Chains A and B, each alone.
Chain A
């Protein structure tokens, strides 16, 4: 547990929770990021303005963070083929399952939704199996 960062992670988690309450209170929207993203690409186009603004804010936060904390470390040895495969699976899965770590996790658990609890349990367990197999069986530097 050499990399354990309890204080920063707890504080970051609180900010994520506050941001989710903010979006619900001010915009009446659930901060499910996969849903916000996928909603940008549906036809016919609908309520794109708030979605685009949220995602722009999310990306802008990264640039602001780098100004203070410096650039993020680059992951060496993780091939772009793996990145493409993982991204495709995350896109398909969140679309079919109706949510991700934020929508089912942060927001769904916060409103005590049984659907979200099941989704979180499934993606946590499968995620752990996938991470162990990718690193230790396939030998990918993930």
Chain B
């Protein structure tokens, strides 16, 4: 339990450093990527590409070895509707959950308000399901 928490802390820390180094923790840079009608910044393609290159190499053998099962495999309405609602919020604010959480370190009202609303949204989303 203690060892698992240390390991999990380390993974979260490294993930966070990756978010800052890549520029994803900066919501303006994220929107510079999403805003294809503006001064487009393609950097985030490289963030996703770099991350997926690593997971694509290691995930499937690890999932087999640990015998992890995924409950859902079908493409259903909640998946598509949820992704669309998430995309709407992401495009407006420039924060997805990881960057928003690590941006709490800015001690800005913006990040704190976003994270508080995101937690409330998670609870509301559960009730609605």
For A118-142 the 0/1 string (1 means CB < 8 A from B) is: 1110111111111111111000101
- Residues of chain A within 8 A (CB-CB) of B117 are 83-88, 91
A53 in contact with B8 (CB, 8 Å): yes
The answer to whether A98 touches B82, judged by C-beta atoms less than 8 angstroms apart, is yes
What per-residue 1/0 map shows which CB atoms of A10-29 lie under 8 Å from chain B? 11111111111111111111
Interface size, chain A (Cβ < 8 Å): 113
B86: min CB distance to chain A, Å: 3
The answer to whether A10 touches B88, judged by C-beta atoms less than 8 angstroms apart, is no
- B24's nearest neighbour on chain A, judged by CB, is A12
Closest partner residue, chain A, to B76 (CB atom) = A115
Q: Is the interface of B mostly helix, strand, loop or mixed?
A: helix
| A92→B18 CA distance, assembly (Å) | 25
A77 to chain B, nearest CB (A): 10
Residues of A within 8 Å of B125, CB to CB, are 38, 91-96
Structural contact, A13 and B22, CB atoms closer than 8 A: yes
In the complex, which of the residues B1, B102, B106 contacts A49, with contact meaning CB atoms closer than 8 Å?
Answer: B1
Q: Within the complex, what minimum Cβ distance (angstroms) separates A65 from chain B? A: 4
Q: How far is the CA of A88 from the CA of B98 in the complex (A)?
A: 15
How many pairs of A and B residues are in contact by the CB < 8 Å rule? 493
Q: Is the CB of A134 within 8 A of B21?
A: no
Known: A83-B110, A88-B121. A115 touches B102 (CB 8 A): no
Q: Are A54 and B9 in contact (CB under 8 A)?
A: yes
**Residue tally, chain B, CB below 8 Å to A:** 111
Residues of B within 8 A of A80 (CB): 109-110, 113
Minimum CB–CB distance for B115 against chain A, Å:
7
Closest to B62 in A: A24
Contact A89 B88 (CB under 8 A): yes
Residues of B with C-beta under 8 A to A26: 4, 7-8, 11
Which of B43, B55, B68, B75 touches A115 (beta carbons < 8 Å)?
A: B75
State whether A53 touches B9 (Cβ < 8 A). Answer: yes
- Do B113 and A84 touch (CB < 8 A)? yes
Assess whether A87 is in contact with B18, with CB atoms less than 8 Å apart: no
Give Cα A28 to B110, complex, Å: 33
The answer for the CA separation of A128 and B55 in the assembled complex, in Å, is 25
- With known contacts A33-B98, A87-B93, A95-B126, A110–B52 Cβ distance under 8 A: yes
Q: Are the CB atoms of B119 and A41 closer together than 8 Å? A: yes
A82 CB to closest chain B CB (Å) equals: 6
Contact in complex: A62, B96 (CB < 8 Å):
no
- A58 touches which of B15, B38, B114 (Cβ 8 Å): B15
B62 close to A18 (CB less than 8 A): no
